[in-house]
């Protein structure tokens, strides 16, 4: 095996990316404190051709130097929008036919590896604050909650790591739609 060179990766331009059909998946960042986490999630959304990122509350907005450190330009390729509250974002999402999913450990949550069994064609995933998680009002407004099963002592993941896992699983479900 030989590692591919950058010019062999067949990267698309930002203009070509913008014209591509997107996976009907929107990632909502609710009160994310770390600008590095925001940038990392933008970069993951670019990798999987996600429709958009919604930023809510105290989540920082591009352009910002600290976001760019990890986004590596993905804030220019991935569409994004800012909302003051999650309820505003939810209203917009529902009016556009999206099912709302909070990524949180709750009673009756669906394990992420069972997401393919959920009947929906457009998904919005809410990822919450690094300390407090997704707000209870957002959970109450969600169609369902998805959870990443964990077997260690911490029972938590960094929000950008969590985003990578759930985006991958939902991408695999929705790319077939």
- Sign of the dihedral defined by the CA atoms of residues 79, 126, 172, 99, in that order: negative
CA distance 118 to 50: 19
For the record, the structure tokens of 27 come out as 């990632």
Q: What is the pLDDT of residue 40?
A: 98
Entry pTM: 0.97
140 three-class SS:
helix
Q: What is the pLDDT of residue 161?
A: 98
pLDDT tens, residue by residue, 39-83: 999 999 999 999 999 999 999 999 999 999 999 999 999 999 999
Residue 176 has pLDDT above 80, yes or no: no
Rg, Å, the chain Cα set? 16
Query: Cβ of 139: how many Cβ atoms within 10 Å?
Result: 19
Residue 177 has pLDDT above 90, yes or no: no
End-to-end Cα spacing for the chain: 34
Cα angle, residue 123 at apex, residues 72 and 173 outer, rounded to 5°: 85
HSE value, Cβ hemisphere, 13 Å, CA-based, for 59: 31
pLDDT tens, residue by residue, 112-163: 999 999 999 999 999 999 999 999 999 999 999 999 999 999 999 999 999 9
């Amino acid at each position: 095996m030989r590692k591919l060179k950058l010019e062999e990766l067949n990267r698309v331009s930002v203009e070509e990316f913008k014209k591509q059909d997107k996976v009907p998946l929107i990632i909502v960042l609710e009160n994310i404190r770390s600008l590095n986490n925001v940038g990392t999630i933008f970069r993951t959304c670019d990798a999987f051709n996600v429709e958009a990122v919604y930023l809510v509350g105290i989540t920082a907005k591009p352009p910002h130097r600290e976001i760019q450190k990890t986004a590596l330009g993905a804030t220019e390729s991935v569409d994004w929008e800012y909302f003051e509250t999650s309820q505003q974002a939810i209203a917009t999402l529902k009016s556009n036919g999206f099912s709302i999913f909070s990524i949180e450990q709750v009673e009756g949550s669906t394990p992420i590896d069972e997401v393919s069994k959920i009947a929906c064609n457009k998904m919005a995933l809410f990822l919450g604050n690094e300390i407090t998680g997704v707000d209870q009002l957002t959970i109450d407004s969600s169609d369902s909650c998805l959870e990443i099963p964990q077997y260690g002592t911490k029972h938590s993941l960094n929000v950008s790591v969590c985003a990578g896992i759930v985006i991958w699983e939902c991408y695999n479900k929705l790319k077939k739609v």
